[in-house]
Amino acid sequence: MRVSSPRVVLVTDRAFGDDVIERCIRAAGAALPAGALSVQLRDGSRLKGSLRLFAGRLRTVTQAVGARLVVNGDARIARDVGADGVHLGRGAGSVAEARAILRGAWVSIAAHSDDDVRRAADEGADAVFVSPVFPTRPPTLQARTKEARGLAAIRAARALAGPRTVVFALGGVTADNTQACIRAGAGGVAVLRALLASADPARVARAIDDAMSVRW
């Protein structure tokens, strides 16, 4: 049985600290309808044991506010903490492999090109994360800014994804440009700094959700 899709995905960033991430999830989750928020745990710098512990903490927090939890790239940790799904980047395995480990998993795939979207649709992924749609701030001064692909990338993904794969816009997404993403064909948005760097993530979460009213 396929799991319905969330509308807003909060992608975690270790630079903000564990406590800030948890407070943000509680605030945003309380501001949105149950099931509308999903949290994607993305942290490639942690050791496996530490990642599993933090995933367990986030599982408790997300359950408390009716949000979902998706673990980036590791279906076994997702299974161990009772997460709802897995997000797959390049080299992270196939959709079938992820679902073999975590039965009934909601599986999304990172899509930096149209070929990634085709792969996701062919494998039966629940969603693709098209990025970067808008310019993003590099995490460090040494990091190279990725060229924004624009709303055309969402339109192309929507045409290629088919009816069963939801397109999410990722990269520089805010409450101000969410509606443009939805009009271009996105079924949801994924955000980092828009929520994590906000002094009032509940207000921002509501604003993003309200901006999606063009579709929902």
Please write the tens of the pLDDT for every residue from 117-160.
999 999 999 999 999 999 987 654 444 556 899 999 999 999 99
Cβ proximity of 157 and 167 under 8 Å: yes
Residues facing residue 108 across a β-bridge: 87, 127
How confident is residue 3, by pLDDT bands cut at 50, 70 and 90? low
Q: What is the pLDDT of residue 136?
A: 85
158: Cβ–Cβ under 8 A, 6 or more apart, which residues?
Answer: 167, 184, 185, 186
Cα–Cα dist 3/199, whole Å: 32
Q: What is the pLDDT of residue 215?
A: 55
Give the tens place of pLDDT for each residue, 61-119.
999 999 999 999 999 999 999 999 999 998 788 999 999 999 999 999 999 999 999 99
Domain map of the chain by residue range? 8-214
Give the pair of three-digit tokens for residue 97: 């492999």
Cβ proximity of 71 and 93 under 8 Å: no
Q: What is the pLDDT of residue 2?
A: 46
Looking at the domain 8-214, which fold is it? TIM Barrel (3.20.20)
| 12 CA to centre of own chain | 9
How confident is residue 214, by pLDDT bands cut at 50, 70 and 90? low
Sign of CA dihedral 159, 165, 206, 55: negative
Q: Residue 34: pLDDT above 70?
A: yes
Average pLDDT, the chain: 93
Give the pair of three-digit tokens for residue 78: 């997702």
pLDDT above 70 covers a percentage of the chain that reads 93
Cβ proximity of 84 and 105 under 8 Å: yes
Q: For the whole model, what pTM was predicted? A: 0.93
